[in-house]
A and B are shown apart, each in its own frame.
Chain A
């Protein structure tokens, strides 16, 4: 018997059949099928302990108290902090995207310097800090600083640093906070930060304040509204909105009084006129002068002629305010006169530091030696500074985007942007320093403007840093050290711990200060009604364009500091943008007058620029007014913001308010041409 070809084939056949009776083939097929599901680029989940870490999120201007959800130390979501009175479990649309922003491809990952060709090149932190220290030493006192942080102790560090350099040029971004402070702490001689006790009010007159989508502490406001309007029950608070267009807030208010932005102060004094006629008084040294001024210059028929609001509307508002037990009037915008008029109206209603009224919240004491108080910082008007030709040798911007949002040209010999994301200011800066995201740094949140009681929240880093970044306050502390004007502390965490101790809050190394609230009210020393100033400042001043511009802010679209966030575009409506073109709203009478219709593409020229938009006809806009959203028109940014719409900040008309000297743009007008 030999082993021939036939035997070989039989052996192989037997082997082949035999292998099918073993697990080899089937196991191989199974393993290969699993292997095809495991490619290296498929993301894998992180496993570990899930925690909710309380922190502060300053992506929105007011700041939110949030819980960051982490797994194995990595952040994956953000929710409102139910234990904090500012949030009570709620969160604004911007801060809800905190994690997405933290991991955004648009994050600044390393320090960068601008080269001769205008492009930015990565450098080490040591190189960047050495370069900046050299510039600061050469600049002497020609140093300016713009902070986008409206609520943090970081401003104490910044302002003390600027003061240490021999400069007074520390600024916050303009807005209602600033106007309120300049009116109350400046003009009227009051103390403390103004708050509005919305949770306990039974009538709220919102004068231009889009309280439920952009003005003030929006989450806190929304919670107050929600509590006052329980489903199926009688509302405990009536809301009246006076403003140029019906956005989210006006659409849920009980009454809308159409009012052009420049007419807010006059409107409120017209209401005050009706109240004074009924014999209402205020405990103020200049009450008689105020009464004389209002009775003479702001009788409702005169005001009606000036601002086109029917006298009956003002009388009705006054009647409702008088009849209410706990009324409160809330102003907005950046007109100091409008804020002073609102505060005078509140004092006339006798609601100062009363339940449901206007409160003067005690400010937390300063902890950094040489720092400016909030009121001192708000006296500094950054728009006016640049308008007068300021061109500091070194300008540092932190957590803000003034190149995009200020309606004036930002100039500096050497500009430094401390920012988390690339934006217009960073792109224009000579030096970019990557700022840690709010979840990656120590930070705090002191009573956001509008909240009626003093609330302090401080946070520790709740997740590992995504990039080689540093908290802006820590950067400035290092600069101060290098410049030899050390502020006596090594890190911002030390500053916050000292702050917590000073105000009596308990600091926890893991949680910071999740929530600390006091009812402390700032003592007053006979505030006035600013009669003399209001006599000159309250008259409406409108630009010369054909149509008044009523810009509005929606947190889903963006603010002066922050472009739209990654998940927000899906809820931005066709009333704000279609495709890449911004949408502006006007009523049919206005459209007819300027010869446009639904969907018309128009060019709006105003201020020093122009913007393109599509027209949407909406009867919720005052005749003669075009409502346009702030927040679009970024030239630098991520895929959600860059090249989307146009920038309304560049078509604002900046004027200096009579008597107060404040930079205002509530009288902005535009000329609209059909394209």
Chain B
């Protein structure tokens, strides 16, 4: 009897439910974001400037090669079609003449203080855009280094993903088919606009027109992107689309 009384004094099972509730709140709302750390792209690349401002198309940079492979991120050689640096050694020397061997310090200067050999290469108008372009020129184009773009949809080497095989999937048809793709696509199908291109199925919605790329969310344990598709997502879509789910389809 004494024991029962003691239990009643502590509110019965209330502490259990409080613990349960707290855990649920922490487990759903607090901890999950802590699994990821935000990493910025190496250069603030504005799709808006290039697509809306310059009238470029997605496949101006992200194109299929003749053999069907996907070019992915553009290389310096592609960027040089507009952002050409004719005499990189000359520009680098001009920068070093100004700031010494620690050549990236030139980015700390105001544009007026920068050597003209560098500033006349800049094509952008807005101050923020000019700053980003200068960063690209100084860090990558002039020293001839490729930009280490971060892939939001990073997949490990043991997965073979072919963009060209998924090129003809239509958002409109997916909507009509009423397939259960809940959680499979990055953005729910019903929230996507019908478009000739279906990039938004797997990539961040509106990435093609954003001004500042969203930060990459890296899992602090696995190193993978938050947006990396899991195998069940691929399998569910394949199954519903009537495609094979045999191992060798993706694991070569």
Contacts and interface: CB of A to CB of B under 8 A. Distances in A.
B27 A14 contact: no
A608 B18 CA distance: 94
Given A7-B15, A11-B19, A23 B221 contact: no
Contact of A14 (B18, B28, B157): B18
Interface in A4-43: 4, 6-8, 10-19, 21-24, 27-28, 31-32, 34-35, 37-38
B9 A1 contact: yes
Interface residues of A, number: 35
Contacts of A1: 9-11
18 contacts: A1-B10, A4-B6, A7-B15, A11-B15, A11-B16, A13-B16, A15-B19, A15-B22, A15-B23, A17-B16, A18-B23, A22-B24, A23-B28, A24-B32, A34-B224, A38-B156, A45-B157, A50-B65
Interface string B54-65: 000000000001
A545 B157 CA distance: 61
B139 to A, nearest CB: 20
Interface string B1-28: 0000011011101111111111110111
Contacts of B222: 31-32, 34-35, 38
A2 interface: yes
A31 B36 CA distance: 11
Contact of B67 (A6, A38, A50): A50
Interface string B190-228: 000000000000000000000000000001011110000
B234 interface: no
Interface of B: 6-7, 9-11, 13-24, 26-28, 31-32, 35, 65, 67, 69, 71-72, 75, 156-157, 219, 221-224
A517 B61 CA distance: 39
B35 to A, nearest CB: 6
Contact of B18 (A11, A21, A23, A28): A11
B168 to A, nearest CB: 23
Contacts of B10: 1-4, 6-7, 10
Nearest to B10: A7
Given A11-B16, A18-B24, 7 more contacts: A1-B9, A4-B10, A11-B15, A14-B21, A32-B221, A34-B221, A49-B71
B27 A24 contact: yes
Contacts of B75: 48
Interface string A32-64: 101101100000110111100000000000000
Contacts of A45: 157
Contacts of B13: 10
In this complex, which of A13, A16, A18, A22 has the most chain B Cβ atoms within 10 angstroms of its Cβ? A18
Identify whether the interface residues of A are mostly helix, strand, loop, or mixed: helix
B7 to A, nearest CB: 7
A288 B9 CA distance: 133
Given A13-B19, A50-B69, A6 B223 contact: no
B81 to A, nearest CB: 15
Closest 9 CB pairs of A and B: A22-B27, A14-B19, A18-B23, A15-B19, A14-B16, A18-B20, A10-B15, A34-B222, A31-B221
A206 B141 CA distance: 59
B2 to A, nearest CB: 13
A31 B27 contact: no
B6 A6 contact: yes
B21 to A, nearest CB: 7
B127 to A, nearest CB: 34
B7 A27 contact: no
Nearest to B27: A22
Given A1-B9, A1-B10, A12 B19 contact: yes
Contacts of B26: 19, 22
Contacts of B223: 35, 38
B154 to A, nearest CB: 11
Contact of B21 (A7, A18, A49): A18
A35 B35 CA distance: 13
A4 B18 CA distance: 15
Given A1-B10, A7-B11, A34-B222, A24 B31 contact: yes
A69 to B, nearest CB: 12
A6 B221 CA distance: 36
Contact of A22 (B6, B31, B67, B221): B31
Contacts of A27: 32, 35
A231 B186 CA distance: 56
A28 B221 contact: yes
A464 to B, nearest CB: 12
Contacts of A4: 6, 9-10
By CB atoms of chain A within 10 A, which of B9, B10, B13, B65 has the most? B10
A14 B11 contact: no
A10 B15 CA distance: 5
A15 B65 contact: no
A22 B19 contact: no
A412 to B, nearest CB: 41
A23 B27 contact: yes
A18 B69 contact: no
Contacts of A16: 19, 23
A24 B7 CA distance: 31
Nearest to A22: B27
A444 B207 CA distance: 48
A622 B156 CA distance: 59
Contacts of A35: 221-223
